[in-house]
Amino acid sequence: MRYHFRFACLLALSGLLFVTGLTTAADWPQWRGPDRNGLGPKSPALANSLAGLSPLWLADRIPSGDQGGRGGLILHAGKVYGLVSAASKSSATDDVFCLDAASGKTIWKSRIQDSSGAEAGSPTPCIVKGKLYVVGSGSKVYCLNADSGSPIWEAKLSRSGRDPIASSIAVVGKVLVLLADVLTGLDAETGKVLWTQDEITGHESSPAPWNSKGRDYVICNSARQTHCVDATDGRILWSVPGGGKSTPVVAQEYGGDFLVILSDNRRTGLSAYRLTDKDPQKLWTLQESDRGSSPVVFDGHVYAIAGEGNGHAAHLLSIDQDTGKVAWKEVVDFAEVSSPVVADGKVFVVCGTFLSLLQATPEQYSVLSQNDYRITLCTSPTIVEGRLYVRQGNAVACYDLRSAP
């Protein structure tokens, strides 16, 4: 029998968190949730069918997709935060918004404009100790007061290109890390650039923190490799085949730490490693790939979307984390880039504009519900305390998923 522990549950013993300063269990304070791995915080019982649900609220005039970006929503202390990026021929304008999580009413909006970007970006903000960190579409990183939206600092990145940034900030100890043409570490308090790692390039993959024996590391993809670097100085400690645009997943399990990578190249494919302080131990590789979706690990199994570069030929898979044995593999209609999440033992998958609800079990492929929530393509859901938050074409919507008492 396996025993799988959410890293946040080890806080009392280890005193560690991927992102420090997370003060409440019912938060989704960064890309892919509290532990940056697609596992939601402790959840009430959720309904087995989502059919017929109406939104609790709609916050309109918040565009997404090609007109506003595809960044995720985060939730902290009863507030929902996100980024709207609007591009013109010569510049991009970014609006950071803060909504009341109970009503959807706007608390504040803050505009940040950077003429060095001409396309809309899709990063997800990150909140730590009352500070909201966000990267704009161009070449700047911003730190705002999470309560008011007022600026604290801004920092200019030394970028070689003009492609919009989709990499989402991670705060590792006292270092803010993102992939902005090269992997970059900044002082989270001041915005001062501490280091750059020129061998790790790109602008779409998001870094994944890893802590081992009290030391902070960052695991991040480049085009064809996945690297582990020292968070304090950016030194590369090891590299393995993988890479791509997705976010590497660090799974904390009793007896060890595991790394799962979903590449956009079938040759390097979907791989799992046992993490060590030196060289990681490869467990298995499958020839599955996706342009940007990140997998999730739950109860000893990996759940992944493999779109193969064409979402119309996508598969959903359940794989044994230790052996790589495929428990099931099923064709789904258009699913890629969006990353699945798990809450209350259920897997939530965005397929086109639909939300599919699956039982998180390797025993059989069990679709509990599939409904059109008009979700913006290639965006990922946020689930906190039984409530679902999603981006739609011109709105943010909230649904109550809790089962009837």
Q: Which of 105, 27, 35 is nearest to 294 (CA)?
A: 35
Across the strands, what pairs with 297? 302
Q: pLDDT of 354-365, one tens digit each?
A: 999 999 999 999
Q: pLDDT of 150-163, one tens digit each?
A: 999 999 998 887 78
Domains of the chain, earliest start first: 7-400 (2.130.10.10)
Kind of pairing, strands 270-275 and 341-343? unpaired
Question: Which range, of 305-319, 363-377, 383-397, averages the lowest pLDDT?
Answer: 305-319
Q: Using DSSP, state whether 69 is helix, strand or coil.
A: strand
Q: pLDDT of 166-220, one tens digit each?
A: 999 999 999 999 999 999 999 999 999 999 999 999 999 999 999 999 999 999 9
Q: Give the pLDDT band of residue 25 (cuts 50, 70, 90).
A: low
Q: For position 117, what pLDDT does the model report?
A: 55
In this structure, the number of other CB atoms found within 10 A of the CB of residue 236 comes to 14
Q: Which residues does 197 contact at the CB level (< 8 Å), separation at least 6?
A: 182, 183, 184, 227, 229, 234, 235, 236
d(CA 189, CA 388): 32
d(CA 234, CA 8): 25
> Can you list the positions of beta strands (E) in 263-394?
270-275, 281-286, 296-298, 301-306, 315-320, 326-331, 341-343, 346-351, 354-359, 367-372, 382-384, 387-392
**How much of the chain is helix, strand and coil, in % rounded to 5?**
5, 50, 50
pTM: 0.92
206, 247 Cβ separation under 8 angstroms: yes
- Find how far residue 64's CA is from the centre of its chain: 17
Q: Which residues does 60 contact at the CB level (< 8 Å), separation at least 6?
A: 394, 395
Mean pLDDT over 110-132 rounds to 84
Q: Which of 11, 37, 31 is nearest to 23 (CA)?
A: 11
299, 360 Cβ separation under 8 angstroms: yes
Q: Give the pLDDT band of residue 22 (cuts 50, 70, 90).
A: very low
State yes or no: pLDDT of 7 exceeds 60.
no
Share of the chain above pLDDT 90, in %: 74
d(CA 100, CA 15): 30
